[in-house]
Chains A and B, each alone.
Chain A
């Protein structure tokens, strides 16, 4: 499968636990974006990463949330001490470098749905 791969597709956590969401971009893509989709709301930008660099994290909550895209391996979105309000669908998207700034064309994964009990 050459698409953006996200796992797990569904994750259930109790309040206070940690959630780790993984994203492998499309082959040849070096830019990764994380978006959050809450019920009845549109997709909200969280963070934009390139390999080993956070480029724009203006949409990330100040506490408990972190993201990384290491030199090897998938991008990870980490949520510590989850609360019920973190329940949402988290989408990862990727793009090749040249397209990223010009057309808005992002290739999205199928999302990871986090439920916090």
Chain B
């Protein structure tokens, strides 16, 4: 079993839709939870990070963590064609090494 599971998609939605992206994980020792966005042929860039269970909002993006269920989500409101990318969840144990464990990524296409 992989430590982090993520549906690879692809996920295709119309412009303006609400997008829900999800990951599950198996190791309760994970401390920090992140969402990265990766455009084609580019490096990942951090969108959001969270530490505790609950919601964190940043503009059109909301990250949600449920540690009891080992489940994290990223919601994108009013999706735009420029949101079309691969979304990677990631997590780490905290501490000194900052070794991130990534999901496989979900490919999102927002159709104009």
Q: A101 and B98: CB pair below 8 A?
A: yes
Those of A103-117 within 8 Å (CB) of chain B: 103-111
Within the complex, what minimum Cβ distance (angstroms) separates B20 from chain A?
19
How many of B's residues come within 8 Å of A, CB to CB?
Answer: 29
Which residue from A35, A40, A102 sits with its C-beta under 8 Å from B94? Answer: A102
Interface residue? A95 (CB, 8 A): yes
Q: B104 and A41: CB pair below 8 A?
A: yes
State in angstroms the CA–CA spacing of A101 and B94 once bound together: 6
Q: B6 and A104: CB pair below 8 A?
A: no
Q: A104 and B105: CB pair below 8 A?
A: no
How many of A's residues come within 8 Å of B, CB to CB?
Answer: 30
Q: Which residues of A contact B42 (CB under 8 A)?
A: 110-111
Within the complex, what minimum Cβ distance (angstroms) separates A98 from chain B?
11
Q: A43 and B102: CB pair below 8 A?
A: yes
Q: B100 and A45: CB pair below 8 A?
A: yes
Which chain A residue shows the least CB distance to B2? A42
Which residue from B46, B96, B98, B104 sits with its C-beta under 8 Å from A33? Answer: B98
